[in-house]
Amino acid sequence: MSESEQRFGEFVVVRRYEHVAELVLDRPKAMNAVSTEMARSIAAACDALGADRDVRVTVLSSTHERAFCVGADLKERNSFSDAELVRQRPTARAAYTGVLELPMPTVAAVHGFALGGGFELALACDLIVADSTAVVGLPEVSVGVIPGGGGTQLLPRRVGAARAAELVYTARRVEAAEARQLGLVDQLVDDARTGALELAAQIAANSPVGLRAAKRAMRLGQGLDLRAGLEVEDAAWRSVAFSGDRAEGVAAFNEKRKPQWPGE
């Protein structure tokens, strides 16, 4: 499997393996706490990935042996004046929305702590793969704030309003087995990164046009009534029905061979 690597600032690396990209959080001295600089790098990496039509799936992972990401850099935040915190807010938001708005399917590989903004980065992905070391949670109310990277909106959509309320209001940490039981993670595997990359490779074998359209339909249709949701689906279907991928997929099926997706 061919591999290339691109660094975004000091704390973020993007690795590409054929049609799978890995966005790697790499601030080990701070357990990947998201500083202003790191937030800028995450957003920049997402901009680059979003524009890369060769990437069919993105995996979000960590280099730290005990943490996926422990959330916002509270040491940095403690040094901010109120005005500085207001100015920093758009930069922080851009990191989380950058992951959320990636156009291709995304898989989080959660190993160790994924707390606060760290868990929000995982929630911004379509699927969360974790291993037995995973500990997740949104503890923001315990330090006088609220989840600000999408947690109050993404968690209810994943597990329902009442369960999300209990987790946000108690600020409790949830270990791997319970996280899987509650639906906070989708798969428990022996090694989160390996499992996430294997899942990504399985997804990436499918049509890149189809994958992006399916994600768009599911994201845009979420929360709509059924009639409106079906209109969203129809628009997404029309965007792929006359594509080169559709023609190749049908031809490959009839010729009993593996598709060679044109990606258009």
Q: Provide the 10 A C-beta neighbour count for residue 190.
A: 8
Report CA Rg, the chain. Answer: 19
Active site residue 72: yes
The amino acid at residue 233 is: E
- Calpha distance 137→115 (Å, rounded): 5
Of 21, 33, 72, 217, the catalytic one is 72
Is 21 an annotated catalytic residue?
no
Find all residues with CB under 8 Å of 72, minimum gap 6, and list them: 33, 34, 92, 116, 117
Instruction: Choose, from 43, 71, 118, 120, the residue flagged as catalytic.
Output: 120
Annotated catalytic residue within 98, 112, 116, 117: 117
Of the residues 140, 149, 221, 249, only one is catalytic, namely 140
Residue 197 makes CB contacts below 8 A (sequence gap 6+) with 17, 20, 22, 59, 109
Kindly report the length of the chain.
Answer: 264
Residues sharing a CB contact under 8 Å with residue 85, sequence separation 6 or more, in sequence order: 77
* Cα angle, residue 112 at apex, residues 110 and 117 outer, rounded to 5°: 65
Active site residue 18: no
Q: Is 228 a catalytic residue?
A: no
Active site residues: 72, 117, 120, 140
